[in-house]
Structure 1
Amino acid sequence: MLTKKQLDLLDFINKRVQRDGVPPSFDEMKEALDLRSKSGIHRLITALEERGFIRRLAHRARAIEIVKLPDSMAGKSGGFTPKVIDGDRPDGPRPAGAMPVGHVSAQEVPVMGRIAAGVPIAAISEVSHNVAVPTSMMRDGGEHYALEVKGDSMIEAGINNGDVVVIRESQTAENGDIVVALIEDQEATLKRFFRRGNAIALEAANPAYETRVFPEDQVKVQGRLVGLIRTY
């Protein structure tokens, strides 16, 4: 049996994972539940973990996976499909097109190289290999590709060094979206997107990194995050 605050937090985390493919930061949880400090969030997270509703990933700051939902919440959302996938690269080639990964229908998408979640690195456009992605991550249609994350600037958004992010191709973004941004046609980075008048702010999810602001004509959105795959 969950308390109202525990249920509210679980619902908020679930909605953000379904929308963004990654869990919210502790600051976002605190604001959503109108709590005064992060210690209250820590207590709620611990309670949810003890009751088997979530799992915190060892040695990965603020990385949370939802294990299950209460029946009432699963009914409201039309069923639960996790957006963070644990797995590994296949030992051999797989046939193209849809395929089962466990009990989840999946499709292969190209991994286009590495993307910086830190100081931007050179954009890479060559396909290195393919990765199987659950079709639930691509339910909105459009073209998709994957990138391997390098760096820790998005760690409070649950995106860690070595993760593979799944990107839906798009040239537009809403404020707060996590995007692949191409800077001055030379460097690519994974950051939260915010429009500030005639400028674009690219915001990290790690206080160690400063928000970078560019004239809007120097930033091109290359796609929006729809999910991630974590390999152990």
Structure 2
Amino acid sequence: MLTQKQHELLCFIDDRLKDSGVSPSFEEMKEALGLKSKSGIHRLISALEERHFIRRLPNRARALEVLKLPEGGVSAIAASNVITLHPENPVREVVSNPAPANNDVLEIPLHGRIAAGAPIEAMEGQTALSVPAALLGPGEHYALEVSGDSMIDAGILDGDYALIQKTEVARDGEIVVALIHEEEATLKYLRKEGRSIRLDPANAAYEPQIYGEGEVRIQGKMAGLLRRY
């Protein structure tokens, strides 16, 4: 039987994986559970791992897989297709509620480059990008070529293709495409602070960007990542 905190953490990880396909960071877990330090999260993760509720995927940072839920059911993430383009890529290209497994390749719009650093113009022109169908869940998607290194600690590198699910709403802590002042777009973690919006990088060399609520519009949230070699 799980403790209350173990149960809360397992559900939080499972919800985040189902929603975005990316494991939450230890900082996000700490905030979600109201703990004072990350050491408590490490202990909870180890306990869940020992009880075979989760497992850590080797050679990848922030890569957790939920194997089962407390009620005994298998997680939708564990049962779904997991596609990894490189063993050292810490971003898990996982989608919830995928279409039946197949080898289909879909073409989605490729809307130019987006900054993973200082905001730059996105949505400049439109071509197409071929993407394995298994990487995309329900809804409408588009792709953006990543420019910069401010999301490197989330496994998002310069030259990668971010696969974006179109949406105008996102939850706190999700990786989103944020349009700033209706002119510039950037790829960042979304943080809501009262009436302000904070866009957090995943690289200590960059500072968070803080804007008024009316200055930022969400244009999508990250659903997966494609990397070419």
TM-score bin (small chain): 0.5 to 0.7
Q: Specify whether residues 116 and 45 from structure 1 end up closer, same or farther in structure 2 by C-alpha distance, changes over 3 A only.
A: farther
Return the letter of the residue paired with 1:38.
Answer: K
Residues in 2 aligned to 1:170 and 1:12: alpha-carbon distance in whole angstroms:
21
Partner of 2:156: 160
Shift of 1:24: 0.5
The structure, 1 or 2, with the larger RCO (C-alpha pairs under 8 Å, 6+ apart) is 1
Q: Distance in 1 between the 2:2 and 2:214 partners?
A: 49
Structure-2 residue corresponding to 1:150 = 147
Letter in 2 for 1:112: H
Question: Structure 1's 194 and 8: CA in aligned 2 closer, same or farther, altered over 3 A?
Answer: closer
TM-score (norm 1): 0.66
Give the structure 1 partner of residue 94 of structure 2.
Answer: none
Q: TM-score, normalised by structure 2?
A: 0.67
Give per-residue Cα distances to partners, 1:20-57, cap 9 Å, x unaligned: 221111112234456553244446656849x7822144
Q: Does residue 210 of the first structure (1) align with residue 189 of the second (2)?
A: no
Question: Which amino acid in the other structure matches residue 189 of structure 1?
Answer: T
2:38 alignment counterpart:
38
Q: What CA distance in whole angstroms lies between the structure 1 residues aligned with 2:55 and 2:129?
A: 32
SS of the counterpart of 1:63?
coil
Q: Which residue of 1 aligns with 2:90?
A: none
Establish whether residue 179 from structure 1 lines up as the match of residue 176 from structure 2. yes
Cα drift, residue 128 of structure 1:
4.9
Task: Flag structure 1 segments of 5+ consecutive residues without an equivalent.
Answer: 89-99
Deviation track 1:184-207 (CA, whole Å, cap 9, x = no partner) reads 333210123345566433233444
Number of residues of Structure 1 aligned to a counterpart in Structure 2: 213
Aligned to 1:92: none
Offset, 1:7: 7.2
Q: Using the alignment, how far apart are the partners of 1:148 and 1:73 within structure 2?
A: 40
CA distances 1:137-163 after superposition (whole Å, capped 9, x unpaired): 432x2x21012333343345x342144
Work out which of the residue numbers 193, 210, 226 in structure 1 matches 2:223. 226
Counterpart of 2:85 in structure 1 is 87
| Unmatched runs of 5 consecutive residues or more in structure 2 | 87-98
Q: Equivalents in 1 of 2:40, 2:156: separation in Å? A: 24
Would the alpha carbon gap of residues 210 and 71 (structure 1) be closer, same or farther in structure 2, given more than 3 Å must change? closer
Offset, 1:210: 2.3
> What root-mean-square deviation, in Å, do the aligned CA atoms of Structure 1 and Structure 2 show?
4.0
Change (3 A) 1:46 1:118: farther
> Structure 1 vs Structure 2: percent identity of aligned residues?
42
Q: For the Cα contact (< 8 Å) 2:10–2:69, is it kept in 1?
A: no
